[in-house]
Structure 1
Amino acid sequence: MTNPHLHASHPALVARLKRADGHLRAVIAMIEAGKPCLEIAQQMQAVEKAVRNAKRALIHDHMDHCLDVEGSEMDRAELRTIARYL
């Protein structure tokens, strides 16, 4: 088993994703309740944006952390690889 790769920002990121998870569950309930498609699409857009923003925060934090703490250990290939998820 590998050592956990934790950053100081991870608890806030987990909280953000849990809110998005709750929101997604509400969207599922809307679909099951037969709510109008426009309302569902709007809420799905909000969930998608929340997850996208969480992903960006994770990647930016990782890049900042690894560049500050690990210095040259984060090679250009790894930086390019993670940056493509932005």
Structure 2
Amino acid sequence: MPDHPHSAIARRLKRANGHLEKIIEMVEQGRACAQIAQQLQAVESAIENAKKALIHDHISHSLEQTLRASGSTGRAALRDFKLVAKYL
């Protein structure tokens, strides 16, 4: 059985979560702020990339197929696209 389309995104988020847990340990250990900030930036970037991957997957699969349909389905898909696209 193939992976769900969002399995790769879930894996990215799990890695980011593990990384964040390590950062929490760094804070509790009193590590240097510059080191912590650098690691937080990496987690922030990982989450941002996961969000973009999710949105692009939605656009390329769900939305593209639906927009090919005519009538109200296409209009509803366009509304959905506008809602999702604001997070790009």
Tell me if both proteins adopt one fold, taking TM over 0.5 as the criterion.
yes
Question: What is the root-mean-square deviation of aligned Cα atoms in Å?
Answer: 1.6
Counterpart among 50, 54, 59 of residue 58 in structure 1? 54
Bigger Cα displacement from structure 2, 48-57 vs 64-73: 64-73
- Offset at residue 70 of structure 1 (A): 2.4
* 2:81 counterpart of 1:79: yes
**Counterpart position of 1:38:** 34
2-structure distance, mates of 1:22, 1:75: 35
In structure 2, the residue corresponding to 1:75 is in which secondary structure? helix
1-structure distance, mates of 2:81, 2:6: 19
Bigger Cα displacement from structure 2, 50-59 vs 9-18: 9-18
* 2:43 counterpart of 1:47: yes
- Tell me if structure 1 keeps the 8 A contact 2:26–2:36: yes
Structure with greater helix share of residues: 2
Any stretches of 5+ residues in structure 1 without a counterpart?
1-6
Greater gyration radius: 2
Please identify runs of 4+ aligned residues in structure 1 that moved more than 6 A.
none
Identity %: 47
2-structure distance, mates of 1:75, 1:69: 9
The residue type paired with residue 17 of structure 1 is L
The residue type paired with residue 79 of structure 2 is A
TM-score (norm 1): 0.84
TM-score (norm 2): 0.82
| CA offsets 1:8-54 (integer angstroms, 9 cap, x no match) | 43111111110000000001000000000000000000000000000
Q: How many residue pairs end up in the alignment? A: 80
